[in-house]
Amino acid sequence: MRIAGGNVGNPQSAICNPQSRGPVGPNRASGTHGKPGRAPGARRQWLRFAALSTACLLATLAPWTIRNWLVLGSPVWGRDNLGLELHVSNNDCAAATFAEMQRSGCHAKTHPNANPQDAAKIREVGEIRYNQQRLRDALAWVRSHPARFTGLTLERFALFWFPEVGRGAASYPLWGVTLAGFAGLILCYKENSLAAMLFGSLLLVYPLIYYFVQHFLRYRYPVLWVSSLMTAYGITVAWQRFRAGPTTS
């Protein structure tokens, strides 16, 4: 099973969704079969592959970074709207989800896509300075409203892992995959700790930024495959143990 290489073949994901970059390494060094790192030279092979993947990623991002340096005046390698998104998601009228923000009119008040005054401000001061100011606004609000910020963050944390995808029981299958995926990850750790740590690092690091910005269901998609894979792994292990029958000491 190959852990990485996706951004080398699909560099757009690194620009449009920087969080999609994950651990890199060849399957012989970190796959889910067997114990990791036992083959001669496995560590060197892993390091070579990681270095090559990193070099390809940097080379792919270089033209976009240079373009932004020339056009925007800053070497932005991915997206530069973190300040805006934090401000839109953390203010006096903010809610946990985009849908709630849209219904309440908060999105129209705070986002330049819907607010002509903010759009004019971007043209006046430039994209980089605008986002820097919005970042300062967001951090100032967080410092002055710690309880409200904590509540929004906890709501978004829960929605990331247990999102509402429809009415009634429509969400239950996804919630089941989430729980079963964590159980499968534990089983994977007992069999191959390195592979489990690689998969676990994706689930730990990728969502961090999404706990602080308005929730969209699509934010879960880039790591949903990990939950699905670990669910399948857990089911496979459980079935094998069932077929083997009870063990006697």
Confidence of residue 249 (pLDDT cuts 50, 70, 90): low
Are 15 and 68 within 8 A, CB to CB? no
Are 171 and 165 within 8 A, CB to CB? yes
Mean pLDDT, residues 208-232 taken together: 95
Are 150 and 104 within 8 A, CB to CB? no
Does residue 181 surpass a pLDDT of 70?
A: yes
Distance CA 17, CA 20 (A): 6
Distance CA 224, CA 205 (A): 14
Q: Supply the pTM of this predicted model.
A: 0.75
A 10 A CB-CB count for 86 gives: 22
Distance CA 32, CA 3 (A): 10
Does residue 22 surpass a pLDDT of 80?
A: no
Mean pLDDT, residues 171-191 taken together: 94
Query: In which element (H, E) is residue 139 found?
Result: helix 127-144
Q: Quick: pLDDT tens for 74-92.
A: 888 888 889 999 999 999 9
Find, among 84, 80, 96, 92, the residue nearest to 214 by Cα: 96
Q: What percent of the chain has pLDDT over 70?
A: 83
- Tokens linked to 219: 């934010």
Higher pLDDT, 98 or 247: 98
Domain boundary assignment for the chain: 1-77, 80-144, 170-249
For the four alpha carbons of 233, 234, 235 and 239, in that order, the dihedral sign comes to positive
Would you put residue 105 in left (φ > 0), alpha (ψ -120 to 50) or beta?
left
List all residues 6 or more positions away from 20 whose beta carbon is below 8 Å from its beta carbon. Answer: 6, 7, 13, 14, 206, 222
Does residue 168 surpass a pLDDT of 80?
A: no
